[in-house]
Amino acid sequence: MGYLSSAGVESCIQWLHTTFPAITEIMVMPETSAEGRTIRALKIAKGGGTRHGIAFLGGVHARELVNPDLLLSFAMDLCAAYTNGTGLTYGGQTYAPGIVSIIVEGLDTWVLPLVNPDGRAYVLAPGGDVWWRKNRRPTGPCTGIDLNRNFDFLWSSGIGTSADPCEYQIYKGPSAFSESETRNVKALLDTHANIHCLIDVHSYSNDILWPWGDDKDQTTDSSKNFRNAAYNGLRGGLNPAVYGEYITTSDRDWYISTGNSAAAAIAAVRGTAYTVKQSVDLYPTTATSDDYAYSRTFVDSSKLKVRSYTVETGLEFQPPYSEALQIIKEVSAGLIKFCTACLCAVDEMAKSSKKKSKAKKSEIDLVALQEFRDVHLASSTAGSRWVALLEAHGGEAFAIVLDNPDMHSEAADVLHELGSAVTSTKAVPIDAALVKRARAVLDSLHDRAGPELRGAVREIHEALEHFTGKPAHEGLRAAERAREK
Amino acid sequence: MGQCESTPARYFVEVGAPDEHALRRLRGFGLDLFVSTARRSGDAFAIDGLIGLDDVARLVSAGYPVLVAADAAKHERRLEVSEFPEWLAERLAERQA
């Protein structure tokens, strides 16, 4: 019983596709590794059409052995559960079949389990260095580049990296994306522009980390951002008086909610506590995969925002395999939460609403709803909070609705009517009867939800009070005033 | 300080520091310290790493307390490896159990 070899990882990818051909697809990465190994990613998705995507990366650092096995095991679980029409159970954490269905039918789930196959092969080889971290490309006098310091995010700054080719751990390479292995990750994001979330799984420390890694986050001064050259030389000091990396309140709230949701799922398996925190914590870093993925949209607004995390699994790089299997189980429970958070629940609800609505109404006007979210909700603290809650928990909520046909019909009708009210060009008051129906749906959801979703449902349930008898914009203002008190 | 292919015995260590600045100054030693493990430990700070005894001595001389936690050789899993057919058989057996 033990860790998969480097070649074994590739065999597993092939087996998954052969065994589950209707719901998987292999992408051969455009470049081989430094030593010429072919690298593959697996997509899990049923059907096509417009949908969000999520990408899971593993094996970036060679010595962190658990994570390629974790991602392949996770892929196997998802594929088997969907094919057999079952849910998933990880210790004390259970997911209904509906959640598996909406992930496979509503999301493109990409698994790139072994970004750095040369490094893993070297770790596991007799005579190799079992604690090797980097890739295996020769750098002149020495070997290897730290792939998680080679991405194009403040690469030139040198924060948390080394320019010494013989540095054992954090040599950043001669240039950003100098390595084929990191270029492959970029290619995955470039080729599949619907990827909306990226999770890079590393070891160790039992953490769930959100951006940014170069300095402490701040939400008040948008001019203090990584693109502004006026702050070159001032980043990385972890002194808010000098610099803080700008992040929007809604993004930060989403990161915290979603991270907490994943941590709660992990803890439910066997009690392991993961800490959800910003990447930078005590040591700044740059040129990492998660910061690069998240930064893309700010550099080029035509690129979709990719919300990203680094998950640090376990309490050592190479636990005994019996312990690795436990880590695999508990973290898999958390990965499901990332998938449901990455779905667009309103999208999924809208797609199903025409079929499910008792009144056979036309489809919900998604474009108008999205504009209401992006313009009006995003510009208020209360609205941003609700958007973050929806994004963090909407997938789970929709899965519960999906499993309950009566709730599904009623939720579809309520969403349709609420959608019409909030997007109408006339100031249509939201009547008390509609609020009562919405609250009834929320009550049903609450009875079936996990603890994190229940908290979100209670918050939305209370917030609806501000909208009774008022047009949506007035309700939003009332909620904002209540929040300020 | 870089390291080449063959390395002397290394140990998993916990390096202490009295404050955040001292913790970050550890970067200048060029050691294999695990950024993700940097933490506040009571009133002080700590970080885990993988270093040889010479580097332990260097850190101690510089005023950093070092706890040698384990011989790294006892924590490697190079022998706990499966090829795919065996790995698959084990995973399928677990799922049926």
Q: Region A172-193: what's the mean pLDDT? A: 97
Predicted local distance difference test score (pLDDT) of residue B2? 39
- The 3-state DSSP class for residue A158 equals coil
pTM: 0.89
Hey, what are A389's tokens? 């809650």
Nearest-neighbour CA in chain A from B91: distance (Å):
8
Within 8 A of A167 by CB-CB distance, chain B residues are 2, 30
φ and ψ at residue A159, rounded to 5 degrees? -70, 120
Assign B1 a pLDDT band (cuts: 50, 70, 90).
very low
Task: Give me the helix-helix angle, A381-402 and A345-356, nearest 10°.
Answer: 50
- Specify whether the CB–CB gap between A78 and A101 falls below 8 A: no
Taking only the tens place, the pLDDT of each residue in A377-391 is 888 888 888 888 887
Instruction: Report how far residue A290's alpha carbon sits from residue A267's, in angstroms, rounded to the nearest whole number.
Output: 23
Nearest-neighbour CA in chain A from B61: distance (Å):
22
Within 8 A of B22 by CB-CB distance, chain A residues are none
How many other CB atoms are there within 10 angstroms of residue A383's CB atom?
20
- Specify whether the CB–CB gap between A149 and A173 falls below 8 A: yes
Residue A122 in this model has a pLDDT that exceeds 90: yes
* ipTM for the whole complex: 0.91
Nearest-neighbour CA in chain B from A193: distance (Å):
30
Q: Helices (DSSP H) in A45-203: which residue ranges?
A: 66-84, 97-106, 117-124, 180-191
Alpha carbon separation from A109 to A24, A41, A201, A455 (Å, rounded): 9, 10, 15, 27
Assign B4 a pLDDT band (cuts: 50, 70, 90).
very low
- Specify whether the CB–CB gap between A10 and A38 falls below 8 A: yes
Buried b vs exposed e over A242-272: b needs ≥16 C-beta within 10 Å?
A: ebbbbbeebbbbbbbbbbbbbbbbbbbbeeb
Instruction: Report how far residue A138's alpha carbon sits from residue A439's, in angstroms, rounded to the nearest whole number.
Output: 62
3-state helix, strand, coil in chain A (%, to 5): 50, 15, 40
Chain B residue at shortest CA distance from A69: B87
Assign A3 a pLDDT band (cuts: 50, 70, 90).
very high
Predicted local distance difference test score (pLDDT) of residue B46? 95
Assign A398 a pLDDT band (cuts: 50, 70, 90).
confident
Hey, what are A280's tokens? 């930078």
Q: Which of residues 66-85 of B touch A (CB under 8 A)?
A: 72, 75-84
Taking only the tens place, the pLDDT of each residue in A73-113 is 999 999 999 999 999 999 999 998 888 998 999 899 999 99
Residue B7 in this model has a pLDDT that exceeds 90: no
Rg of the Cα trace of chain B? 18
Predicted local distance difference test score (pLDDT) of residue A412? 83
Across the interface, of A1, A123, A166, the residue whose CB is closest to B90 is: A1
Taking only the tens place, the pLDDT of each residue in A27-40 is 999 999 999 999 99
Residue B3 in this model has a pLDDT that exceeds 60: no
Nearest-neighbour CA in chain B from A261: distance (Å):
21
Residue B84 to residue A4, Cβ atoms within 8 A? yes
Of A239, A183, A189, nearest in space to A214 by CA: A239
Q: What's the mean per-residue pLDDT of chain A? A: 92
User: Which of the residues B21, B24, B36 would you substitute to probe the A interface, choosing the one with the greatest number of A C-beta atoms within 10 Å?
Assistant: B36
Residue B84 to residue A5, Cβ atoms within 8 A? yes
Within 8 A of B39 by CB-CB distance, chain A residues are 282
Within 8 A of A8 by CB-CB distance, chain B residues are 82-84, 87
Residue A266 in this model has a pLDDT that exceeds 60: yes
Residue A12 to residue B88, Cβ atoms within 8 A? yes
Q: Region B71-86: what's the mean pLDDT? A: 90
One-letter amino acid for residue A186 of the chain:
K
